[in-house]
Amino acid sequence: MLAGFVLSLREGLEAALIIGIVFGVLQKTNRVQLKPVVWYGVAAAVLVSALAALALNWLGMEFEGTGEMLFEGLTMLLAAGILTWMIFWMRRQGRSFKGEIEAKTGAALAENGSRGLFMLAFLAVVREGIELALFLLAARLTSSPLEMVAGAAMGLAGAAVLGWMLLVSTRGMNMKNFFQTTNFLLVLFAAGLVGLGIHEFNELGWIPAGIEHVWDFSQVLSDEAGVGLALKALFGYSASPSLTMVIGYLSYFVVLLVSLVRFQRPVVAVRAN
């Protein structure tokens, strides 16, 4: 549940920031009558994202045996790769995020009017939505669907509230602490996906285990229920990991964390209007 919450909160808030900035531009340019167009774009993006999520889950259920392990392993590694790109993209764009969205909104209004504004809102939200669909699919492979849906719903609700606060606020909100905290959690989550993805390829025999069980905590903290299952869903915990799982997890985590600290760029205040 926690993994779904964090992922949905992060992706939902990024989409909310973009929409809030678009509304701010419409307010400044006295074109508030176009706000419904933005909402139409958001609604269309949510629909497409929901259909993508259903399609991905349906596709996953169609596989069995070797195909299932291959699908799950590839899904986890792909999700980890996209998460990595997303973290560094936000770091890189932090300073110019608001200015770029304002420029794109102005260009959309100047070139295509309401159609351009619709597409801007649609593409901004559908990108976050499809990314979230993939992340939740990868997370669902380590937890129950009900818990994942509940966590995602709470995360999106939280993102909506924070987005509304940004929209009505008369002062800029500094999102630096929020993104730093969620970045760290996403690094842990992505490292877990790498480890679990390697586990699937261990099962396939495509990646050698090295040592089949580096340790075995199954009797102390099983990864099949309770706290152990929650840790598996959020951090990729395994009660009895292989050597290559441990190496993959630690290598990814250390390299990514060091890179974030070394190339850290602060996320500046974001003001919607």
- Residue in the structure block whose two tokens are 């995360």: 155
3-state secondary structure of 217: coil
Return averaged pLDDT per consecutive 10 residues of the chain, 273 residues in all: 84 88 88 92 95 89 88 93 86 73 86 86 92 87 77 89 72 64 86 94 93 93 86 88 96 89 55 46
Contact indicator for 101, 15 with CB cutoff of 8 Å: no
d(CA 120, CA 122): 5
pLDDT for the residue numbered 252:
94
Who contacts 98 (Cβ-Cβ below 8 Å, separation ≥6)? 21, 268, 270, 271
Positive or negative CA dihedral for 72, 78, 84, 86? negative
pLDDT for the residue numbered 229:
83
| pTM recorded for the entire structure | 0.82
As to burial, measured by CB atoms within 10 angstroms (0-12 exposed, 13-18 middle, 19+ buried), residue 258 is exposed
Contact indicator for 3, 155 with CB cutoff of 8 Å: no
Tell me which residue of 237, 239, 199, 196 sits closest to 217, measured CA to CA: 239
pLDDT for the residue numbered 271:
47
Who contacts 225 (Cβ-Cβ below 8 Å, separation ≥6)? none
pLDDT for the residue numbered 119:
92
CA atoms within 13 A on the CB side of 188: 15
pLDDT for the residue numbered 193:
93
Domain boundary assignment for the chain: 2-270
